[in-house]
Amino acid sequence: MTGPASRVFAARLAGTAVFDPQGDQVGRVRDVVAVLRSRGPKRVIGLVVEVPGRRRVFVPMTRVTAIDVGQVLTTGLVNMRRFEQRSTETLLLAELLDRSVTLADGSGPATIEDLGLETVRARDWQLTKVFVRRGHVPRGLSGRLRRRGETLTVDVDAVVGLTSTDADQGATNLLAAFEELKPTDLAEVIHELTAKRRGEVAAALDDERLADVLEELPEDDQVEILSALAGDRAAHVLEAMQPDDAADLLSELPPEQAERLLLLMEPDDADPVRRLLAYDEHTAGGLMTSDPVILAPDDTIAEALAHVRRVELTAPLAAAVFVCRPPLETPTGKYLGTAHLQRLLREPPNTPIGQVIDKDVETLDPKASLQHVTRQLAAYNLVSLPVVDEDGHLLGAVTADDVLDHLLPDDWREQEHEEFEVDRG
């Protein structure tokens, strides 16, 4: 192992593990906090560290004893209050990566790709270098763009526009720094950004990734981001979302806007969303997903297990297979019963799934209340229940996570327990 670094680059710190003096991991670095005054040194005052529970806290640089290869060492004194950015502070990764600046020597525009931090004395860090690419880097989906132009590392004072909030900015390098984040964690990063920056990041995400992130954001952020997208792009993102999540989002829009987007969607994607929008949001029909795992009774257990292994399925949806007569798209033919994952794992793989179904699970009427749905899930110790119409056709399934979303306060994603004061010096 090499000794502690005297210069590090901010983008390479993203995701780096943070340890206390005993060698126990405290969390991971998610951003770097600096105070960038127009004159004088650009001080790096701390790190935003994600600790267990996805809480982001502030760790002052005065408590960072070393930044080594792949790790940050601290004194162990971590303040657990949720980090809140102050007006005088700049997040180097979230706000400066991909920013367009001008080189002070008159050689033209450049785009920031990384930022160099150096120790000037013990535990005193400053932003001293900027790694740039000459020219304007075009913005593109997923940050997959063809890069051109010379790269160079210059002194921080050799660039103009470092703190300009109206500067043109993409999100290529920001997304690269957070590439490993799950949608829930990336959503939390995006939620903390300014509205302008949220829009820039959303523009750089591909449709699938943006759909996954939108499903994890508070409703206000969802509406803001979707409304800022061009009509066709917004429709594609809605198509990539789970039908119930798309319906929840469209229900928050003005009716004319929602209808316009539904018309832009492919009919096969829009139809299940329209059906969900017909139900009150606090009923089984409004809570359900119209796309659970559905198989015919002659399909084998091996085929069922292959379906529930799909990576895009949530754990509650993967816990049960709903067995129906064809057609197998909702609304299906006659609903026959539910095959639970535990039972599937105990039976020979070539057994027809129709032989292992549970016919005793009570189905839900689409108009059943949220309270009734909650009681049924608790009574049967299940994580999903079938929703069936009066003719016995499967319309969808309600999962425990959808119920929790409606039982918790509207702002539950943003609530954090704040027990201590932050010392930022």
User: pLDDT grade, residue 59 (50/70/90)?
Assistant: very high
Round to whole Å and give the CA distance between 268 and 101.
45
Evaluate if residue 145 carries a pLDDT over 50: no
Q: In what order do the strands lie in the sheet with 320-324?
A: 294-295, 320-324, 335-340
Q: What is the CATH number of the domain that holds 335?
A: 3.10.580.10
Q: What is the pLDDT of residue 166?
A: 67
For 74-89, the pLDDT digits (tens) are 997 778 888 989 989 9
Q: Give 263's contacts (C-beta < 8 A, 6+ positions apart).
A: 270
Mean pLDDT of 234-247: 95
Mean pLDDT of 397-405: 91
HSE at residue 274, side-chain half, CA atoms within 13 A, is 14
Q: Which residues pair with 385 in a beta bridge?
A: 398
Residue 395 within any structural domain of the chain: yes
What's the total number of domains in the chain? 1
Q: Cβ–Cβ contacts within 10 Å for residue 106, how many?
A: 6
Q: Give 256's contacts (C-beta < 8 A, 6+ positions apart).
A: none
Find how far residue 409's CA is from the centre of its chain.
20
User: pLDDT grade, residue 417 (50/70/90)?
Assistant: very low
Residue 110 within any structural domain of the chain: no
CA-CA-CA-CA torsion sign (275, 276, 278, 284): positive
Residue 409 token pair: 């306060």
pTM of the model: 0.79
Q: Give 37's contacts (C-beta < 8 A, 6+ positions apart).
A: none
Mean model confidence pLDDT for the chain: 89
Find how far residue 198's CA is from the centre of its chain.
12
Q: What is the pLDDT of residue 307?
A: 96
The interaxial angle of helices 243-250 and 267-277, nearest 10 deg, is 60
Q: Which helix (H) or strand (E) holds 265?
A: none
Domain of residue 373, residue span? 294-407
For 120-130, the pLDDT digits (tens) are 887 889 999 99
Find how far residue 360's CA is from the centre of its chain.
37
Residue 305 within any structural domain of the chain: yes
Residue 271 within any structural domain of the chain: no
Q: 3-state DSSP call for residue 268?
A: helix
Mean pLDDT of 34-49: 91
Instruction: Kindly write down the DSSP assignment for every residue of 49-71, as one continuous string.
Output: EEETTTEEEEEEGGGEEEEETTE
Q: 3-state DSSP call for residue 352?
A: strand
Q: 3-state DSSP call for residue 109?
A: strand
For 151, which DSSP code?
E
Compute φ and ψ for 424, nearest 5 degrees. -105, -5
Residue 401 token pair: 């996570």
Round to whole Å and give the CA distance between 267 and 279.
19
Q: Which residues pair with 64 in a beta bridge?
A: 74
Mean pLDDT of 320-325: 97
Residue 3 within any structural domain of the chain: no
Q: What is the pLDDT of residue 148?
A: 66
Residue 321 within any structural domain of the chain: yes
Provide the terminal-to-terminal Cα distance of the chain, rounded to the nearest Å: 32
Residue 273 within any structural domain of the chain: no
Residue 340 within any structural domain of the chain: yes
Evaluate if residue 144 carries a pLDDT over 50: no
Strands 394-399 and 159-160: unpaired
Contact 82, 181 (CB under 8 A): no
Q: What is the pLDDT of residue 402?
A: 87
